[in-house]
Chains A and B, each alone.
Chain A
Amino acid sequence: MKNKVKVFRAMHDLTQEQLADKLGVTRQTILAIEKGKYDPSLDLAFRIARHFTVSIEEVFLWEEPPKSP
């Protein structure tokens, strides 16, 4: 799953630490989401989208995994 958390965070002039504090998660979690190492739960994904006052589809983009031959 791809996401634009880093873009929206930059648009709102927030550091990872500040966003993490507002969402009640660790800074490493924000970093892991931005790097695509961790897909957040639906609850956290909605909270991130709501924090940036956009829809969840604008922040997170689901991609079908490549099919194995």
Chain B
Amino acid sequence: MRRNTFYIILGLVILFEVGVFWWAVETHNALLMQLAFLLGVVVIYLARGRVEEIIEDERTGLITQKASLRTLQVFWVVFFAVNLGVAVIGLGPPGFPRRPPQPPATDTLLPFHMLGQFAIIQLVLLGLMILLYVGFRIFYARKFGEWDSDEEQS
């Protein structure tokens, strides 16, 4: 399989996932979305293994390794700092910070109707993590000559 064919399959899988997400929200079927996502990951993994051109070697491995490590370090520190602040507020004395009267506390830590918002916040954070990774990947790819050109390049 050529590399471009792989990218076409990747695009089709993304379209499929968006469609299934819409359908799953309409039908209120969480399992459908989760299974579709896992299926998409498997399809992409299998398709990637069939690309005949060499797209990975020790240099790309090094770029991936460095970008992943930096992403994990930065994301962990920022994520921990944000949640540390929220934990301090949550565990602090009542009335600080000042806020409007709250409804009586429920038994659960997070009301069920807020789970969707909680999930969206997490999805946004995971999206930001990907952006961070892409940024680091571009940095290290440039450092290790990914976009250098010479007289052989057409």
Q: Say whether A associates with B.
A: yes
**Interface secondary structure of B, over-half rule:** loop
Q: Are B146 and A21 in contact (CB under 8 A)?
A: no
Q: Are A37 and B143 in contact (CB under 8 A)?
A: yes
Residues of A7-31 whose CB lies within 8 A of B: 15-17, 20-21, 24-26, 28-29, 31
Q: Are B54 and A32 in contact (CB under 8 A)?
A: no
Q: Report the minimum CB–CB distance from A22 to chain B (whole Å).
A: 11
Name the interface size band of chain A.
20 to 34
Q: Which residue of chain A is the closest to B58 with respect to CB atoms?
A: A41
Q: Are A37 and B145 in contact (CB under 8 A)?
A: yes
Ordered by A's residue number, 26 sampled pairs between the chains whose C-beta atoms are within 8 Å are A16-B150, A21-B54, A25-B54, A25-B57, A25-B58, A25-B59, A26-B55, A26-B59, A26-B60, A28-B59, A28-B146, A28-B148, A29-B57, A29-B59, A31-B145, A31-B150, A32-B59, A32-B146, A35-B148, A35-B150, A37-B144, A38-B59, A38-B62, A38-B144, A40-B59, A44-B58
Contact surface of B with A, Cβ cutoff 8 Å:
54-60, 62, 143-146, 148-150, 152
Contact surface of A with B, Cβ cutoff 8 Å:
15-17, 20-21, 24-26, 28-29, 31-32, 34-35, 37-38, 40-41, 43-44
